[in-house]
Amino acid sequence: MLSGYIPEFRTRFRATIMGIIMGLLNERIQMMPRKELDELQLKLLKAQARRLYELSPFYRERMKAKNVTPEDIRTLDDSAKLPFMTKKDLRDFYPDKLFTVPRREIIRYHASSGTTGKPTIVGYTRKDIDMWAESLGRSLTSVGLGEDDVIQVANTYGLFTGGLGFHYAAERIGAAVVPASTGNTERQIQMIQDLGVTAYAATPSYMMYVGEVAEKMGIDLKQSTLKTGLLGAEPWSDKMRDRIQSQYGIRGINCFGASELSGPLFTECSEQTGIHFWKDVALVEIIDPETHEKLGPGESGEMVITMLQKEAFPIIRYRIGDITMLEEDTCSCGRAHPRITRITGRVDDMLIIRGINVFPSQVEHCLNTNPEVGNEFQILVERKGHLDEMLVKVELKPEAFTDNILELNALRERITSKLRNSLNVGAKVELVPPGSLPRYEGKAKRVKDTREI
């Protein structure tokens, strides 16, 4: 018995020591003074620029075209000398031509919707998975979560990064995870009650829906153990936050990430005054989307992100398309890591439907694979209750339009199912006669989004 006990004791002892060391390192980096953080960030930026110049033909060519070498990166402001990267690059180099490690070093793939038919594939080395969990885990501790918490993850598990992202981060900080994924709302509420769930990761609109279903079930979330909502993946407003906080007695913590960057990575701290971007994980800049000039703190513009330690699929000066502002002053929580304020819009036409990115070009691409479909379509998005609904009106070619309801229904079902597979989110389809949708003299306005957030 004793011989079995000693190895177990050793393992536990080692785990405890590792836990203490990781906790101290975590605390140290979170509270590091600005000057030290800047030095660390510059060191990482230089190393990443050098690594990519040496390893990646894509980045080397891009840097050469801008007449910049890794030696030219001497200060943090020199990041502006580096070339941009766009969603188009991700599409052009599909699926893994921008990866900078051999296949055997990849231990996971995720995917997110691309601008046309093909998704963006993201590969991860062991270190990438580790950094991802470290970054989000750190953020979770910054809102006071830890070993005493039970975190229910109601983001989708699978190719989408939300589920596994929160899952690994929650495990890393020693919390107990309930991997609920999306759907089955009544059961989710049952779990919150039965397991004493303290934090719930979801899209803000799903959080509202959960609250509403709980009310219908006669359950008052205010009286439950649930105290924190880890909410993101879609735009939401302070008004919506106020509603969630006052109606359900839950702090609504804004969380940000994107699959190209790894997945969900950063959150607000307990002060709820903007999302902290860890300086050793990412360098964030705000630029004028037209002139590409770097903007200062407090100026609204397009966010550009450089991931400083990513290995498999490096990201430098990525024009992610989100519009926000940067706050550089030290937060009242004491952390000197910069913050972004709420994301107020996009520079492109990307829609977020139930947390899933949808590009009108993707819809168009999918519709065009059906020979019966004509030239025009329209996307109508609204919020019904708390959930997004998308309706796609599709004009048929004259030869395909018929009075035969059965035939039309069969075609509608075929297109609906194709769209669902292509977009990863459901849309209703309405087939309309040729020439019945609006035509445009200037830029077409094919999307009508009436959601209020």
Which spans of this chain sit near Zn ion (rule: CB under 5 A)?
A: 269, 271, 331, 333, 335
Per CB under 6 A, 233 contacts ligand AMP: yes
In the complex, least distance from residue 232 CB atom to ligand AMP, rounded to whole angstroms: 3
For residues 41 and 75, is the Cβ–Cβ distance under 8 A?
A: no
- In the complex with ligand AMP, the residue whose CB is nearer, 37 or 133, is 133
Contact set for ligand AMP, span 212-231 (CB under 6 A): none
In the complex, least distance from residue 112 CB atom to ligand AMP, rounded to whole angstroms: 4
Residues paired with 266 in a beta bridge? 256
Q: Do β-strands 275-276 and 387-396 pair in parallel, antiparallel, or remain unpaired?
A: unpaired
- DSSP-assigned states of every residue in 268-312: B-TT-SSEE--TTTEEEEEE-TTT-PBP-TT--EEEEEEESS--S
In the complex, least distance from residue 269 CB atom to Zn ion, rounded to whole angstroms: 3
| 152: three-class secondary structure by DSSP | strand
Distance CA 322, CA 172 (A): 29
Residue of 287, 328, 288, 289 whose CA lies nearest to 305: 287
- In the complex with ligand AMP, the residue whose CB is nearer, 192 or 303, is 303
- DSSP-assigned states of every residue in 214-258: HHHTT--GGGSS--EEEEESS---HHHHHHHHHHH--EEEEEEEE
Among 200, 248, 256, 313, which residue interacts with ligand AMP (rule: CB under 6 A)?
A: 256
- In the complex with ligand AMP, the residue whose CB is nearer, 68 or 240, is 240
Q: Which does 325 bind (CB under 5 to 8 A by kind): ligand AMP, Zn ion, none?
A: none
Distance CA 416, CA 341 (A): 37
- In the complex with ligand AMP, the residue whose CB is nearer, 332 or 344, is 344
Distance CA 324, CA 29 (A): 25
In the complex, least distance from residue 320 CB atom to ligand AMP, rounded to whole angstroms: 5
- In the complex with ligand AMP, the residue whose CB is nearer, 232 or 360, is 232
Per CB under 6 A, 255 contacts ligand AMP: yes
Among 89, 134, 149, 234, which residue interacts with ligand AMP (rule: CB under 6 A)?
A: 234
In the complex, least distance from residue 193 CB atom to Zn ion, rounded to whole angstroms: 31
Residue type, 306: T
**Number of residues binding to ligand AMP, judged by CB under 6 A:** 17
Residue of 125, 148, 134, 309 whose CA lies nearest to 225: 148
In the complex, least distance from residue 141 CB atom to ligand AMP, rounded to whole angstroms: 19
- In the complex with ligand AMP, the residue whose CB is nearer, 34 or 243, is 243
Contact set for ligand AMP, span 131-170 (CB under 6 A): 161
